[in-house]
Structure formats: C-alpha cells, structure tokens
Amino acid sequence: MREATNIVDLASEYIRLTPKGRYHTGLCPWHDDSRPSFQIDPERQTFRCWVCNVSGDVFSFLMRMENLSFPEAFRALAERAGIELPKFQKPKPQKILFAEHGDQPPSASQVEDSSELSPQDLRSACAWAEDRYHRFFQTLPTSHPARRYAEERGLWGEMSERFHIGFSPSDWNWLEKEARKDGFSIAHLIAAGFLKTSEQGKVFDRFRGRLIFPIHDAQGRSVGVGGRKIPDVECSYDAAKYVNTPETPIFAKHKLLYALDLAKSVVFRKKRVLIMEGYTDVIAAHRHGFQDAVAILGTALGIDHIKTLRRMAETIYLVLDGDAAGQRRTAEVLELFVAEKVDVRVLTLPEAQDPAEFLATHDSQDFETLLEKQAVDAYTHALNTYTEGLDISNIHQAEMVSEKILQLVASADRFNNLNFAQVSFREERLLQKLASTLTISEEFLRKRLREIREKARRDGFLRTRRQQEYLGSVGDEGNDENTLSPLLEGEAELDASAKFSSEDGFLGDAADISTLTGLDFEKAADLIDWKVFGTMDAWERELMHLLLSYPALLGHARQHILPEQLKYQPARELLIRMSELQDDGRIPTLQCVLTSFESEKMKNWTLEEEARSMWRHESKSQDDVSRLLDELIANFELHHYEGAKLRLKEAFQNPKVEDSQKAGMLENLILQKKRVTGLL
C-alpha cells in the first residue's frame, strides 16, 4: 500500500507544497504556521513538522487529516490506489437490510444501531442517494417546475453534470422505494441523513420536493447534500429555503466547503479562493470562469474553514451579498480573519446583489475588476462597517468605534501566536488608519490596546489558576505514594489511580504501565504523557539508531540483548516489533516498522529517532557496523553488570531479602561478569 501511494501526491490534496531541494515544504496543517515548517521527504516517503514535531508516513498523514483509525486509513489508501482488498463478509442481522423488512418500517433500535456504521458505509449511502437524485433530475420533462427553475438559473446541461445536481420528487417515500428495488440498506440511508422516521414509525425522504446539491469532501467523496425549495413544488420543511444533511461522522458543516473538490486545483494554481454564501452563487461563478469559488454550508464561516483554505491559497476573498444581512454576517467573522496569517480581502457587491445576480448582468471582466480594485483588507472592511452611518465627530460614537476595533485586534491574541513582525506591521497600519479616521492620537490607541490585552492576560491567568487548583484537588483524591498523578493529558477529571484497560483506555500505576506490551501498549501510548517512561539511556538510543539504520544487524543483537533488558519502554516495544517482523521472515526496515505500528506516537517517535541517527547517511561496510554493534553490546553488558552489582549490594544490606534470592542474584552477577570478560 505504501509503494502504491506517493506521499507528495497525497499531501498535495490537502496542502500547497513547494519543491525545495530534495524535499517538498508547505504550511503545517496542524498548527498555526506562518513559515513553511511542514516537510516531506519523497525518498523516504515520510513527513515531519519541525515546529509541532509531528511526523509519520502516508498512513499517519491520512489518519491525522481525516481523523481515521489505522484500518480505516488502510482501506482509504487502498481505494485511492485502486487496490481491491479481500472482503470479509460480516453476518448482518435481518434488521439491517431493507429488503428483509418487507413492508415493515425499521424500529427505533435499528436506527440507533445504524449510528455505528463506518465512514465508508456512510459515504457509500451518500453516493448511492446522490446518483438516484441525479438520475431523476436528468429525466424531468421541460414543463416540470424544477426543470424550469434550473434552466432559468443556469443549472441545467453542463453545470448539472459538473456539480451532479439532482432532484427529489414530492413522493414522501420515493427514496425508500428505490432502496427496496436495489436491496440497499435503509439503516445506512437513515444514518447518512437521507431518510427519517416519523412518530408513527413511517420512513420518509428528508429532502422530498427539493433541488439537490451534492456535497463532497476535499477528496471528492460524497458526504451529504443540500436541498433547495423550488417554487410551485410541494416539499418537506416548508418554512426552510435550504435543508442540509444533519451532522454525521462524515458531514460537519463547520469543516466542509461546497465545491472545494472541484475548485482545489485552480485554487492551488491561482493561489486564491473566493468564498461565497450560496450553492447557486458558486455554480454561477464556475460557469463564468471563476472556478476557484467555494461556498459555506448554510452556517457561519469558521476557523476550520479558514485554516483549510490558507493551506491552499495565499489570498482569501470573501465575496459578500450587497444587502445589510451580508454585511452583518461578515462583521461576525472578522475576528477570525484578524487572527489568521493570511491575506483576506472583502468584496461587497453593489446594489445589494448576490454573486449570481451580478454575474447574470455583467461580464466576467467586470467581476474580476471588482476583485482587483474594490476588495479591501479585513481591517479596512471592519473600520468601514463599524463607522457606517455614525457621526464620528461625536465623541461617544467615536469611542464606541475605537473600542470595537481595538477589541477585534486584541482578540487575535486568543489564538495561536502570530509572527511578531507581521503583527506589528498590520497593527501599525490599522492604528494609523483608525487614528486618522477618528482624529484620535495613535499613542492613545496604543495605550488602550495594551490595557485591553493586559486585562485579557489577567483573566486568562485567573482561569488557568482555577483550572490548576481544580486539577490538583482531583489529583490528590485517593492517591498515595505508589500512584502517579494524572497521566492523561488535559483530562483533569480523571482519577490518577485509574488502571488501564482496553475498554476505557485509562491507566495509572507505573508498574501497570511497564507491563503493557503489544496492542495494549499501543492503545496506551497515544493516551498518556510519555514522561512516565522517564528518559532513554544513551546506549539504548545508540542501539535503536544503529538497528534502524542497519536492520540486518538485528539477528546478532538479539543473541545478546533481550527486550525486557531495555528500561525505556518505547525502545523495548520497538525492539519487540522489529524482532516479530524478523521472525515473520521480513526485513525490519523503517518503512515496515512504521506500517506495523498503529500508534501515532510510536510512529512519530520512531521517525524522530531515525532522523537523529548519525548513521542514517553513513556508508559503512558490514564489518564496520558489526564492530560498532559489538562495542555497543560490550557497553550494554558492562552497564548491566554494574547495575547488578549495585542491586546485589542493596539486597545484602536489606534484611527482608531472603538468602535464596541473594544466592540467585549472586549467580546471575557471576554470569554477567563472565560475559563482560569474554569468558562466556
């Protein structure tokens, strides 16, 4: 699977990458990155962020980006590469398949069970429903109101195919009957949000009587739809103009953007993106050549949207409806733009028009001219918005405006730290413009901005102290000298003495941690703070570096070193995993080791240690590296011999240790002495 997936191609679907020497670089998708700190090594097929210290392979990348488990990422990469995996058919109870219901609607328990479906099952249901809606739309007669509406707005023909537009008939159980004919799972359609059950237990189509706009994720996979009310057509939810798929494991409005999958390549090329409010606005923009347009999904623009887009584009244009509602909605999200290191431009269309209306009466060049000459930065738009209709010569009104703007500037501090030089420049320009507009001294504005920030810091300090006091009170409950403080990062409510189990994922006592291995260790590794493992000895680190660089040495190392002799548990697990791979007849290369681990932390740690190895770029003969390993083994045996001497001395001084135990320790020390001196 790894060989079939090029990590550069995979990451390019999410991030704008730039070749730099033998690497590809871009903005890290997991922290507020201003300078490209995300790096891909095409030769090793690995990635790493040098700021947040995240690293891994194609599996790790997809798991992080899509919030997938390892098996889910494996299946997704197989699907992406066109590799057919063996199918293991799970027996399904009769309540799952619609065809097995006869005429009986699904029970409430069946609907609840469907919530446990995998993302692949949900996407399959979305794709199936999208295809049925589109087929029906294509067969509508010219006299049908939905057909007439679509033609009037340019949603027929090429655009209907490009955006796969569909229509759901007014028949309340049309989709149910289609599922019956195909034997498709009704539970899947309910879980994906296409079907609902009434209080009487009847199943009906959530989107009946509506024009259907399929919604895809950035990879082009079907995840939901938006349904628009059509004049003269009976539909569900009569009061709502638009109805979207409800929130599901694959459909989150605060993360998705309409048509991003279609616009992505153009966005990368033009290094800009146009954000609009409506589906029809985006389709009109694409029809007129602006194929870098996307839309929000009937919700406010959020921080996740901006973070996604700023990895693809250098400039974000927010194209607003010219009406008052459009202006208000923009004012609500300005704080997000201020907090992001991206060039944000706001374009307000004239005469209260939306983009589709403007493009219907103007040519493409007129719209491009507006983008170039009329779009203003977020600060300027905020200033224009807050001063509109006010008499800024009035002291009270001028003070209100200055407070709003300064609060907006200070709000950026609540997000990740920005580049100081960039912030200073932006603030200077804003304060100069604000002082000039309101005829207030810049010094006064700077002083007031410092006061607002100082108050925010004090409030933050008090919140932090209260959290620490609460965390401390929880950590003290039920603890004794044999238990650790809470190990789960950020989980103040967990008792520190909780034990690990594969069901709940908690752990507590150090002795319990040290006994974990294999799958249990992997489950724990991503949950705990690795400080509980202590630090890795120098000789252990050297051994790991040498084996990762020269895996052929593993067999010789295993003749002298047992995994349980390693004190640092991740190193112990790595040696165990490499040994298991070797026992299976495989060479434990870095790539094989990374693939074998499901734990993201173990993948990252292994990659970090391999990257630190002084041997990774060395070219030495087999004899040379064998001598290096022999020296390392000798140091290892000496290290353990000295440790055994110390433990034996302590045992003889401890009256509670039985004589038989002391004799056993002495015998073991003699054996170690023989190894150190070469007598054994």
Long-range Cβ pairs for the range 426-434 (8 Å, 24+): 426/379, 429/379, 430/379, 430/383, 430/405, 433/379, 433/380, 433/383, 434/383, 434/402, 434/405
Question: Residue 274 and residue 263: Cα distance in Å, rounded?
Answer: 10
Question: Residue 363 and residue 358: Cα distance in Å, rounded?
Answer: 9
Question: Residue 263 and residue 265: Cα distance in Å, rounded?
Answer: 6
Can you spell out the DSSP letters for 274-304?
EEES-HHHHHHHHHTT-TTEEE--SS---HH
Confirm if 226 and 297 have CB atoms less than 8 A apart. Answer: yes
For the stretch 260-282, pLDDT in tens is: 999 998 998 898 999 998 899 99
Structure confidence at residue 328 (pLDDT): 59
Q: What is the mean pLDDT of residues 86-99?
A: 41
Residue 137 confidence (pLDDT) above 80:
yes
Q: Bigger pLDDT: 302 or 491?
A: 302
Sequence-distant (6+) residues with CB within 8 A of 181 are: none
- Considering the chain, what is the average pLDDT of its residues? 77
Closest CA to 533 of 564, 499, 571: 571
Report phi then psi at 306, rounded to 5: -65, -40
Q: Angle, to 10 degrees, between the axis of helix 174-182 and the axis of helix 119-138?
A: 110
Residue 336 confidence (pLDDT) above 90:
no
Weakest mean pLDDT among 232-241, 354-363, 466-475:
466-475
For the stretch 157-170, pLDDT in tens is: 899 999 999 999 98
Residue 373 confidence (pLDDT) above 50:
yes
DSSP 391: -
What pairing do the DSSP bridges indicate for beta strands 242-244 and 272-276?
unpaired
- Please tell me the pTM assigned to this model: 0.59
Q: What is the mean pLDDT of residues 113-124?
A: 74
Give the model's confidence band at 113: pLDDT under 50 very low, under 70 low, under 90 confident, else very high.
very low
Sequence-distant (6+) residues with CB within 8 A of 37 are: 25, 27, 28, 49, 50, 51, 52
Report phi then psi at 193, rounded to 5: 95, 10
Which helix or strand (DSSP H or E) is residue 111 part of?
helix 108-113
For the stretch 543-587, pLDDT in tens is: 888 888 888 888 888 888 888 778 888 998 899 889 888 888 888
Confirm if 38 and 56 have CB atoms less than 8 A apart. Answer: no
Give the model's confidence band at 474: pLDDT under 50 very low, under 70 low, under 90 confident, else very high.
very low
Q: What is the mean pLDDT of residues 220-241?
A: 84
Structure confidence at residue 583 (pLDDT): 82
Structure confidence at residue 659 (pLDDT): 72
Structure confidence at residue 134 (pLDDT): 96
Structure confidence at residue 344 (pLDDT): 82
Q: Which of the residue ranges 61-75, 182-196, 498-512, 596-610 has the most confident prediction, judged by mean pLDDT? A: 182-196
Q: Angle, to 10 degrees, between the axis of helix 378-387 and the axis of helix 324-339?
A: 140
Question: Residue 301 and residue 440: Cα distance in Å, rounded?
Answer: 33
Which helix or strand (DSSP H or E) is residue 48 part of?
strand 46-49
Residue 494 buriedness (CB in 10 A; 0-12 / 13-18 / 19+): middle
